């Protein structure tokens, strides 16, 4: 390939590594394989990422950035608070599960983190960033509606993300051959939205009407 400045080469290598690992698994992401994916010399990968930890961190940060960017880009519309929360949650669900291999890849990194201190440090950073972003967005949405949250925003965010992580794991275990979520997973995702909104408003959660993947929910669902 023609000479490319280091400032451009790094994001190319990160994307190549991400695509390769999402397709074939973390273990497949050797420097040789990543170099072949992009069509560069193996030394280029070694030069760009001094250690495997540097490479893993770059891939996880890219995954995180893409997911957060997708949620931030979602337009919650002008509906009630609960419906706007639901819109953002479904944007997060699509970011986490919609692109083949991304959800599996994060799960692989999570499993590695249980035994590898370097990967654990990386995943801890991911957890803090995601929780911080969820706290910030929830706070901003409450302010926009003139609401005082019934509990601290961070506690609600941690509660929600804990349930969301469990549902993404369930999705990986039970998804259909076509990759579509199992019906109970989506029903429980709606229930998680409703309980989260209930925590925000200090009101009992109202169980929402069933909402299928990709379909808009009822206008007032989730309101206390």
pTM for the whole structure: 0.82
The pLDDT of residue 210 is 54
Alpha-carbon distance 76 to 88, whole Å? Answer: 6
The pLDDT of residue 194 is 95
Average pLDDT over residues 81-104: 90
Alpha-carbon distance 148 to 150, whole Å? Answer: 6
The residue assigned the tokens 């409450």 is: 142
The pLDDT of residue 204 is 60
The domains of the chain are located at 74-224
Cα distance from N-terminal residue to C-terminal residue, the chain: 59
The pLDDT of residue 221 is 40
Whole-number percent of the chain with pLDDT over 70: 88
User: Which CATH class name applies to 74-224?
Assistant: mainly alpha
Average pLDDT over residues 128-157: 95
The pLDDT of residue 178 is 82
Q: Using alpha carbons, list the distances in angstroms from residue 143 to 39, 126, 137, 148, 156.
A: 49, 26, 10, 8, 15
Residue 2 has pLDDT above 70, yes or no: no
Q: Using alpha carbons, list the distances in angstroms from residue 19 to 98, 105, 108, 191.
A: 14, 10, 14, 33
Q: 6-15, 52-61, 118-127, 194-203: which has the minimum mean pLDDT?
A: 6-15
């Amino acid at each position: 390939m023609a000479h490319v400045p280091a400032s451009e080469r790094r994001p190319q290598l990160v994307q190549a590594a991400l695509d390769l690992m999402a397709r074939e698994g973390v273990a497949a992401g050797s420097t040789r394989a990543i170099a072949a994916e992009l069509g560069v010399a193996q030394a280029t990968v070694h030069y760009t990422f001094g250690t495997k930890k540097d490479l893993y961190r770059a891939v996880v940060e890219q995954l995180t950035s893409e997911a957060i960017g997708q949620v931030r880009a979602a337009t919650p519309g002008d509906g009630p608070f609960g419906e706007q929360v639901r819109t953002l949650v479904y944007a997060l669900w699509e970011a986490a599960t919609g692109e083949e291999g991304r959800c599996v890849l994060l799960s692989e990194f999570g499993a590695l983190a249980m035994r590898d201190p370097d990967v654990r440090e990386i995943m801890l950073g991911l957890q803090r960033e995601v929780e911080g972003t969820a706290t910030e967005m929830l706070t901003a949405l409450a302010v926009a509606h003139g609401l005082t949250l019934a509990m601290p925003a961070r506690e609600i965010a941690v509660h929600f993300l804990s349930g969301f992580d469990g549902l993404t794991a369930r999705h990986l275990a039970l998804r259909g051959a076509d990759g579509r979520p199992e019906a109970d997973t989506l029903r429980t995702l709606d229930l998680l939205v409703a309980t989260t909104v209930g925590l925000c408003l200090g009101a009992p959660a109202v169980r929402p009407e069933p909402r299928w993947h990709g379909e808009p929910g009822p206008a007032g669902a989730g309101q206390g």
